[in-house]
Structure 1
Amino acid sequence: NKAAGDRHEKLLETPSMYQTVRLVGETVKEVIAQSSPAGDQADSYFNASFILGGQIKGSQPRLFMIYPEGNFIESTDDTPFFQIGETKYGKPIIIRAYDRTMSLAETAKLLLVSFDSTLKSNLSVGLPLDLLFLELDAFKVGLKKRIGHDDQYYRTISDGWSNALKAAFASLPDFPG
Structure 2
Amino acid sequence: MFIHKIDEDLSLKIQEMRDAERIFELTDSSREYLKEWLPWLAFTNELQDTKDFIKSGSSNFVEGKSLGAVIIYKGEIVGIGGFNNINHANKTAYIGYWLGQEYQGKGIMTRVAKALTDYALTDLKLNKVEIRAAVENHKSRSIPERLGYTEEGTIRQAEWLHDHYVDHVVYGMLASEWV
Same fold (TM over 0.5): no
Which of 1 and 2 has greater Rg?
1
User: Which structure has the highest strand share of the two?
Assistant: 2
User: Which structure has the highest helix share of the two?
Assistant: 1
